Structure 1
Amino acid sequence: MDQTPASDIAKPIFAVKYLLSPTIALACVLAFRWPIWTRVVLFAWYTHHLLQGMSIHTGEMWSDYSNGSTLGGDLFKTLYMLFLVDPIKDWRHKSDGEKPISERPWWQRIYWCVCAAMTARGVGWNYQVSGVPSPSKLNRSMFLCCTAVRVLASYVLLDVLQFLIQNEPFFNDPQPNSSMRSHNFPTQIFYMILCFGLPYGALRFYYYIGAFIAIASGYSSQEEWPDLFGSWFDAYSVRTLWGRTWHQTYRRQLDSIGKAVAHLLGASRGSPVFQMIRINIAFLVSGVMHAFSGYSIGQHFGVAFPFFIAQPLAIIFEMFFASTTKKYTTSIPFYVRRCIGYTWTLVWFTYSASWYIDPIAQAGFGKNDIVSFSVVRFVLERFIRGS
């Protein structure tokens, strides 16, 4: 795979060229409601353009991996908005008022479509996905203070995770064909928490920076920035972890693509077959999105597919188990059922995480910095020098 050297493109230029510009092009097509052939042409160009972006090597593995995942998500967001929905006709924001979007000046329609394309969870729109946490009830000043603390906490979390990963031979000096399953189970849990903590911390960090800037500048209110992740107390099953606790950034397009495929296959809406097709297709598309991350760091496309393909199997197992044992489990105390659920979810994610973590460990994920300035490293160096 050809990769552009880091010196050939700066991060701001990358963001404008591969994130902002394609979004504006998408908004223009949607705002003017151009015919289907223009949408096909745009999507073909968009796919080629994003693949070029995924081939750019920044010299930082974490940045390359994140870019691949982000551009992969944008690709399916574009597919969804071009062919599965008509935003001008179907979507409304709470601030739109009485006048239809289609009757507004062209520049207002384009801006409206840009906002729609960049609002992944649909907060404040009539298509807001389920599972989004309730809006904050804090006043503006308190919300800004709490958001600043969350930005700092997320940065410290990333710093700690970076320090731990860089000091684990499994990540910083991987042996050929090594697997986290060769370690004892507590160590596997530790590796799983390290790796899934990275996107958790990074997404929170950038999300709360955006929230702070948007609210401090008066561009939006705190009600438009609910927490990105749900409560970890809801992670008592694989289904609730994905559906309530984890972020819902791509849920709308993944679920819509899954439903569209289920309809094409003739499944009756609401039937068990429809639900199984919907869930499996949604995770399959998610696997393709994340496969672009591996592509961006030079791995084989789809190397982590088994992890994403396995998740709906666990969810279907949970649904079958719950339906067949319902009359036997109602007498079990609630807290016991919850403890069993948490244990099952932890065991499953630790086991299946190997399919996701092993490839990135083999790529040398622990050899690069994640944060530009490490507070942990700075403090330790000063402590060692002073002792």
Structure 2
Amino acid sequence: MLVPDLRNPTPTSHDDVLRQFQERLSAGLASGEYEPFVWPYRAFGPGLLMLYLLLPPTKSRFVYYARYPLFALIIYLSTDSILKCRSSMVTTGYGIGLLNAWAVLWSMSLIICNDARGEFRRIERRDDLDANWPVDEADGATTGAGRLVDGGLRARHVDGEAEDSSGSQQENRKSSDASKGEIFVWQTLPPTFYHRLDWVCDLVSNFRGVRWNHQISNLPPPPPHIQSSLKDPSVPSADARSHLTRTDLIRRDLPNFLLCLIALDVLKTVTLRDPYFWGLPPSTPSPFPYPCLFRISLSLVSVYTSLLTIFLLSPLLFGVLMGPEKLGQHAWPWLYPPFFGSVSQVYRKGLAGLWGQWWHQLFRYGFEQAGELAGRATGWKAKSQKGTLLRVAVAFACSGALHACASYTALGNTKPIYGSFAFFMLQPMGIIAQRAVSGWMKSGGLRARIPAWLRGIGNLFVVAIWCYVVGPIIADDFAATGIWLIEPLPISPIRALRGDGFWRWGGRWVRWHSADRWWRSGLAC
């Protein structure tokens, strides 16, 4: 138990830290240094992106070039929110920086690096095509929008309904799945509003691009019956991951979700015993032996478990509980591939496998597009050594910027630049160093004499040492934000058994904020 110093009070519990956050916010609001995050006023940036994408299909040059001043306005609004808005709720405070920074990066990916309104397409089911609809020739996916259909897609558009160029509407009918009588097409920006609204909402929220022509790599291709309907030779062949069923989702995700819930309760109970996880400095004494190793390990496990729990909600909620009966095409099981890859990639490829294939790829497309933009600006091609290094560095810089903005908007004593941002900027250096050593061993013939299993153990050892050395940089910043003070679950059976209470959620989450201007009023959290 920490002994409080009356001259400089030290928190004696995590509740004291939360009270200090509230006091700091109240003082900042009173002085005008901070503003509450108010919805919908502070959501104007993403709202403008949605409104732009919702404009009807048109060849207007004015609409095409309007994306540039629109993007500048989104940058201004998001930056203003990051600089001014704060919240005593840890999740909201962290999210203000993270989500506003992502709004800028995602808007850049959709309307600057690409013309999503004209280039992006989504696989949709059409049970019946009107033979009288007019047909227009158009090019399909262009550079920056052809991950799923490498090499580009030649398509015919039927009043906004994209059809494979190898056949007419009648051929598409014949190639549909015979057992279901279904027809699948590449859907461009739809002409009707409600269809367009669904299309745009999916585009903006589907960061990995599942079922879109900009889908990131390492995700499953469409199932065979969809491919036979599309008759698009550029779509990769279906594999085992393409055959997911609703039952498969239950078997794959439900046990993991239940285990995550138990793990979260255990982790929360354990972290509360160490004042470091309240947001106090690393020099604070720990009740556990080997504090540095314990804190790094627990931070990594907590981040992984928290993210996995959130990621498992979408397949279980949308793909299983609601299903096609309520959500239609949005509940196809193959639309919910895992967010994390196989840990065997770390064994096989070390740090490169850790970040490129095991860790979640939620923001990958946005990072890739930023790297491609930098590559086009410098003229360095993607397959050149300089181009590859540039793209990797830009990707990690974007990730560092997102986490640094989240650290900046938290109320704790954080170090956004020397903490979160520095950690991610060190990662490409570690990857390059490991690859350089591996290349040196290969050129000298040493690598061929080492068994594959021993090389795998070596990769794991390198990753473990790397995390132990550089991990505290971001772990300390995470802890300082107060992110471990949140109650992840509404109930805690373990703490109930210890007499600390069963129900963990409470207090006021949102309130109505009245401002001097009506448009600044709204829900504050």
Q: Is the 8 A contact 2:407 2:481 kept in 1?
A: no
Q: CA deviation at 1:106?
A: 4.3
Structure 1 residue aligned with 2:208, among 121, 130, 134?
A: 121
Partner of 2:361: 248
How far apart, CA to CA, are the structure 2 residues paired with 1:367 and 1:214?
29
- The code of the aligned residue for 2:370 comes to I
Bigger radius of gyration among the two = 2
Q: CA deviation at 1:112?
A: 1.5
- The code of the aligned residue for 1:292 comes to C
**Is 2:416 the partner of 1:305?**
no
Q: Is the 8 A contact 2:86 2:96 kept in 1?
A: no
How far apart, CA to CA, are the structure 2 residues paired with 1:213 and 1:188?
38
Q: Is the 8 A contact 1:91 1:127 kept in 2?
A: yes
TM-score (norm 2): 0.63
Partner of 2:338: 227
Q: Is the 8 A contact 1:27 1:110 kept in 2?
A: no
* Secondary structure of 2:256 counterpart: helix
Partner of 1:144: 250
How far apart, CA to CA, are the structure 2 residues paired with 1:64 and 1:208?
24
Q: Is the 8 A contact 1:31 1:113 kept in 2?
A: no
**Is 2:318 the partner of 1:214?**
yes
Question: Hey, which of these two has a bigger chunk of strand by percent?
Answer: 2
Q: CA deviation at 1:276?
A: 0.8
**Is 2:372 the partner of 1:259?**
yes
* Secondary structure of 2:250 counterpart: helix
Structure 2 residue aligned with 1:38, among 66, 69, 90?
A: 66
Question: Hey, which of these two has a bigger chunk of helix by percent?
Answer: 1
Partner of 1:80: 109
Q: CA deviation at 1:31?
A: 5.7
How many percent of aligned residue pairs carry the same amino acid? Answer: 20
How far apart, CA to CA, are the structure 2 residues paired with 1:142 and 1:196?
28
Structure 1 pair 200–193 and aligned structure 2 pair: CA distance change class (3 A): same
Partner of 1:172: 278
Give the superposed CA RMSD. 3.2
Partner of 1:158: 264
- The code of the aligned residue for 2:436 comes to F
Per-residue CA distance 1:19-42 (angstroms, 9 max, x = gap):
974552353269657635422332
Per-residue CA distance 1:195-239 (angstroms, 9 max, x = gap):
233332233222222222222322212111011111122123111
Partner of 2:5: none
Structure 1 pair 300–44 and aligned structure 2 pair: CA distance change class (3 A): farther
Partner of 1:27: 53
Q: Is the 8 A contact 1:132 1:244 kept in 2?
A: no
Q: Is the 8 A contact 1:238 1:315 kept in 2?
A: yes
Partner of 1:47: 75
How far apart, CA to CA, are the structure 2 residues paired with 1:256 and 1:300?
27
- The code of the aligned residue for 2:256 comes to R
TM-score (norm 1): 0.84
Partner of 1:334: 452
Partner of 1:105: 192
Per-residue CA distance 1:33-70 (angstroms, 9 max, x = gap):
76354223322332333345545434222442244323
Partner of 1:353: 471
* Secondary structure of 1:35 counterpart: helix
Moved more, 13-22 or 367-376: 13-22
Structure 1 pair 368–140 and aligned structure 2 pair: CA distance change class (3 A): closer
Q: Is the 8 A contact 1:94 1:124 kept in 2?
A: yes
1:370-381 equivalent positions in 2, closer than 5 A: 370-381=488-499
* Secondary structure of 1:94 counterpart: strand
* Secondary structure of 1:95 counterpart: strand
Q: Is the 8 A contact 2:42 2:81 kept in 1?
A: no
- The code of the aligned residue for 1:322 comes to S
How far apart, CA to CA, are the structure 2 residues paired with 1:320 and 1:30?
51
How far apart, CA to CA, are the structure 1 residues paired with 2:198 and 2:391?
32
Structure 1 portions without partners, runs of 5+: none
Q: Is the 8 A contact 2:86 2:410 kept in 1?
A: yes
Moved more, 217-226 or 90-99: 90-99
* Secondary structure of 1:330 counterpart: helix
